[in-house]
């Protein structure tokens, strides 16, 4: 699916990060990064494993506290809001985990019902059922509704994980290595799904990856994280037009070796 940028609103920042620092002991993971995400935009944060990409989205979701700097998400300073305010904010943020994070003891239907029954207690049984059916239809897996996670392929588990996130109608999607461990065909299907979600639900997304095929297919904009800082930002073509040897070797590793 070809990316369409017509829904990106450059007047509305849904995430704004300024001078963000995070260390674990002597390991300085994030060293003063700035990043803005606009309404309706897919931004890929690209970098090798261990460069702090996942730490960044955990800070955005309020799962980790920054050492310094500000992280504003949908008008909220994540580091200073109360716990109850953070819980409400998280309902507007969809987190697609690398592992899909499905409950093996629940059917697909029950996995999707779980966040609704926990957070939207006012819904009727019919409304919950309809929401589950709509979320599964959005990821093309309506037929799996009564299956168990163990019966699903890796790609199907990824899709169900995304469906469970979409069921809460989030404004922001955070994808952590969405194509990790998948074969090339299934990876392309997940890339297409990320674009379809953006187009259909007008979400704003951060996609964490070291997979350049995923980055090229899904990213309206790329930000390359190296040594704790963003070293280059722009479209895929703009980023890899650089003479920076670190970027050249990263490109060659993905597409030549």
Calpha distance 56→52 (Å, rounded): 6
Instruction: Encode pLDDT of 106-132 as tens digits.
Output: 999 999 999 888 888 888 999 999 999
Q: Would you say residue 56 lies in a domain?
A: yes
Q: Would you say residue 57 lies in a domain?
A: yes
CA max distance for the chain:
58
Give a three-class secondary structure readout of 145-174: CCCCHHHCCHHHHHHHHHHHHHCCCCCEEE
Q: With 90 as the cut, is the pLDDT of residue 243 above it?
A: no
Q: Which tokens belong to 192?
A: 């297409």
Q: Would you say residue 3 lies in a domain?
A: no
Q: Which residues of 102-138 are buried (b: 16+ CB within 10 A; e: fewer)?
A: beeeebbbbbbbebbeeeeeeeeeeebbebbeebbeb
Q: Would you say residue 138 lies in a domain?
A: yes
Calpha distance 37→222 (Å, rounded): 11
Instruction: Encode pLDDT of 63-96 as tens digits.
Output: 999 999 999 999 999 989 999 999 999 999 998 8
Q: Would you say residue 40 lies in a domain?
A: yes
Inter-residue contact 10 to 222 (CB < 8 Å)? no
Regarding predicted confidence, which is higher, 168 or 50? 168
Give a three-class secondary structure readout of 173-200: EEEECCCCCCCHHHHHHHHHHHHHHHHH
Q: Would you say residue 206 lies in a domain?
A: yes
Residue 17 belongs to domain with CATH number: 3.40.50.300
Instruction: Encode pLDDT of 183-237 as tens digits.
Output: 999 999 999 999 999 998 999 999 999 889 999 999 999 999 988 999 999 999 9
pLDDT confidence band for 257 (50 / 70 / 90): very low
Q: Would you say residue 2 lies in a domain?
A: no
Which helix (H) or strand (E) segment holds residue 130: the answer is: helix 125-138
24: β partners: 27
> Hunting for tokens 């194509």 — which residue is that?
179
Dihedral sign, Cα of residue 241, residue 242, residue 248, residue 250: negative
Q: β-strands 172-176, 204-209: how paired? A: parallel
Q: Which tokens belong to 144?
A: 């799996």
Q: Would you say residue 38 lies in a domain?
A: yes
Q: Which tokens belong to 147?
A: 């299956």
Calpha distance 137→142 (Å, rounded): 5
Domain residue limits at 135:
12-255
Number of domain units in the chain: 1
């Amino acid at each position: 699916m070809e990316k369409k940028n017509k829904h990106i609103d450059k007047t509305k920042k849904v995430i704004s990060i300024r001078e963000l620092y995070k260390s674990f002991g002597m390991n300085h993971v994030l060293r003063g990064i700035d990043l803005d995400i606009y309404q309706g935009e897919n931004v890929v944060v690209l970098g090798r494993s261990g460069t702090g990409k996942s730490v960044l989205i955990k800070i955005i979701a309020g799962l980790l506290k920054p050492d310094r700097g500000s992280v504003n998400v949908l008008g909220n300073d994540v580091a200073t809001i109360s716990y109850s305010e953070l819980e409400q904010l998280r309902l507007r943020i969809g987190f697609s985990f690398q592992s899909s994070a499905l409950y093996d003891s629940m059917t697909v239907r029950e996995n999707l019902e779980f966040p609704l029954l926990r957070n939207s207690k006012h819904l009727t049984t019919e409304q919950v059922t309809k929401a589950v059916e709509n979320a599964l239809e959005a990821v093309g897996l309506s037929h799996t509704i009564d299956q168990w996670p163990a019966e699903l392929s890796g790609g199907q588990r990824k899709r169900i994980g995304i469906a469970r996130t979409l069921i809460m109608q989030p404004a922001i999607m955070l994808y952590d290595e969405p194509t990790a461990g998948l074969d090339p065909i299934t990876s392309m299907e997940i890339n297409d799904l990320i674009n379809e979600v953006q187009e259909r639900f007008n979400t704003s997304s951060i996609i964490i990856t070291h997979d350049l095929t995923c980055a090229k297919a899904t990213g309206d904009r790329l930000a390359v994280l190296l040594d704790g800082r963003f070293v280059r930002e722009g479209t895929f073509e703009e980023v890899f037009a650089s003479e920076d040897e670190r970027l050249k070797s990263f490109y060659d590793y993905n597409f030549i070796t």
